[in-house]
Amino acid sequence: MKFGILVNEGPYNHQAADTAYQFAKAAIDKGHEIHRVFFYHDGVNNASKLTEPPADDRNIVNRWSKMAEEHGVDLVVCVAAALRRGIVNENLASGFRISGLGQLVESGIQADRLVTFGD
Amino acid sequence: MSESTGGIDMDEESSGTVKKFAFINRKAPYGTIYALESLEVVLISAAFDQDVSLVFMDDGVYQLKKGQGTKAVGMKNFSPTYRALEGYDIEKLYVEKESLESRGLTEEDLIVDVEVLTAEEMATLMDEQDVVMSF
Amino acid sequence: MLHIVNKSPSERNALDSCLRMAKKGSTILLIEDAVYAVTKGSTVESKMKAAMAKDIHVYALWPDLEARGMQDTVIDGIKQVDYPGFVDLVADNKNVQSWL
């Protein structure tokens, strides 16, 4: 089955980014396809490569990048929400791309299920 | 339109598929950005020719309150956009009766025409959707 | 339909709104801070039992229960799932709504 995922909160402040990641990982492990992870609202902060958590904490941004690299998951950051919050190509972590909101609507159309994680 | 839709060519990738999309608005405007950014998704969805419904319940009904004036707080008043939705062929706006009444509001207080549904009717509407987006 | 709730029932009204909209035969999954709603002896217990009596299936995400130390006081009848079980619930229901 194809899943679309919408992440509406930034990393560390709210558990949404963690739950979304654990869900996506479990889905991939079960043989499902993650059609796209779309980052909206403060969720765009999941894509900042300037993030530096303490060494004993999980690295949320790198975790997403690794998922994109290993499983070809499409990580899309909403351009309007990103510009509002200072996320641009210069500080975008690997595996992420910036695009329009149409990518979210399209994920809703193409995926069998769209699951939202937020506050 | 291609920039706002993320460069997607609707004719090739998404034509033919019409899904029932519901946007569930349960948050008040201005206190957080969710209402405004939700409206931005709704406007983009119009370009995809889907069957779009907007649901306002809980504090989301405050998004439609008449008389919003944001000059003093220095924020953009986006409430007139709800009146413009008709021009985008987004005409299915639903408000939950209980949410409206418990906030001391009536349909007269809202800036657009809506269909008021009971919780039970709203539950049926939600159940019929293919994609439910909540902000 | 699968309803996902992630808010503590004593802080926000998401669970109440969800319970108002959940139809007979539907499923509710409690995750994140919403797992506090499954606690025996809490004021929410009667609501959860009423929902289950209406043939609404209630699940809680056990990694979230365990993270919060709430795994030993779960109301009878509430089922627990892990992340793969969460994926199955989404796959098995034709649509999903997150009560943010």
- The domain locations on chain B are 20-67+76-134
User: Is B15 part of the contact surface with chain A (CB cutoff 8 Å)?
Assistant: no
Q: Report the distance separating Cα C99 and Cα C84, nearest Å.
A: 21
Strands C2-5, A2-7: parallel, antiparallel or unpaired by DSSP?
unpaired
**How many angstroms separate the CA atoms of B53 and B45, rounded?**
11
HSE-CB at C72 with a 13 A cutoff on CA atoms is 1
Whole-angstrom Cα Rg for chain C: 12
CATH number at residue A107: 3.40.1260.10
Domain that holds residue C54: 2-98
Chain B 37-76, residues with CB within 8 Å of chain C CB atoms: 57-58
Please give the positions of A annotated as active site.
Answer: 78
Under DSSP, the state recorded for C23 is P
What CATH number does residue C88 fall under? Answer: 3.40.1260.10
CATH superfamily of B20-67+76-134: DsrEFH-like (3.40.1260.10)
pLDDT at residue B8 is higher than 70:
no
Q: Which of B6, B14, B132 sits opposite A100 (nearest CB)?
A: B6
Whole-angstrom Cα distance, residue A99 to residue C37? Answer: 38
With a cut of 50, say whether residue A61 has pLDDT above it: yes
pLDDT for the residue numbered A3:
98
- pLDDT at C58 > cutoff 80: yes
Q: What pLDDT, on the 0 to 100 scale, is given for residue B10? A: 54
C30: nearest Cα among B130, B121, C56:
C56
**C71-81 average pLDDT score:** 97
Q: Please, what is the angle between helix A102-110 and helix B34-45, to 10°?
A: 70
Going by C-beta distance under 8 Å and a sequence separation of 6 or more, which residues neighbour residue C84? Answer: A26, A29, A30
Number of domains chain C contains: 1
- With an 8 Å Cβ cutoff, are B122 and C21 in contact? yes
Q: What is the mean pLDDT of residues A54-68?
A: 98
Number of domains present in the structure of chain A: 1
Instruction: State how beta strands A96-99 and A113-117 pair.
Output: unpaired
* Structure-block tokens of residue B126: 């939600």
Range of the domain at A27: 2-117
What per-residue confidence (pLDDT) applies to B16? 78
Burial C39-58 (b: 16+ CB within 10 A, else e): beebebeeebeebbeeebbb
Q: Is B14 on the interface with A (CB under 8 A)?
A: yes
Q: Chain-wide mean pLDDT for chain A?
A: 98
- Examine the pLDDT at B2 and tell me if it is beyond 50: no
Answering whether pTM is above 0.75, one says yes
Q: Which of A106, A98, A109, A113 is nearest to A40 (CA)?
A: A98
Write down the pLDDT at residue B95.
98
Q: Which residues of B touch A8 (CB under 8 A)?
A: 34, 135
Q: Is C39 helix (H, G, I), strand (E, B) or coil?
A: strand
Give the pLDDT score at B14: 53
Supply the pLDDT for residue A103. 98
The answer, yes or no, to whether residue A105 has pLDDT greater than 60, is yes
Name residues whose C-beta falls within 8 Å of residue C18's C-beta, 6 or more positions apart in sequence: C3, C5, C28, C99
- The partner residue sitting opposite A1, judged by closest CB among C31, C63, C91, is C91
Q: What is the pLDDT of residue B7?
A: 60
Q: Which of C13, C14, C23 sits opposite B123 (nearest CB)?
A: C23
The stretch C51-78 carries a mean pLDDT of 97
A88 near A45, Cβ under 8 Å? no
Res A63 pLDDT > 50:
yes
Query: How far is the C-alpha of A15 from the C-alpha of C65, rounded, in Å?
Result: 14
pLDDT tier, B5 (very low <50, low <70, confident <90, very high otherwise): low
The rounded distance, in Å, linking the Cα atoms of B22 and C79 is 29
Mean pLDDT of A81-106: 98
Q: Provide the 8-state DSSP code for A93.
A: P
- pLDDT, tens digit, for every residue of C24-36? 999 999 999 999 9
> Does pLDDT of B12 surpass 60?
no
Contact A7, A119 (CB under 8 A): no
Tokens of A7: 């992440």
Average pLDDT along chain C: 97
**What is the model's pLDDT at position B3?**
47
Chain B residues lying within 8 Å of C26, measured CB to CB:
127
* pLDDT recorded at residue B13: 53
Average of per-residue pLDDT across B39-49: 95
Q: Express as a percent the part of chain C with pLDDT over 70.
A: 100
Q: Are B38 and B23 in contact (CB under 8 A)?
A: yes
pLDDT in tens, B32-43: 999 999 999 999
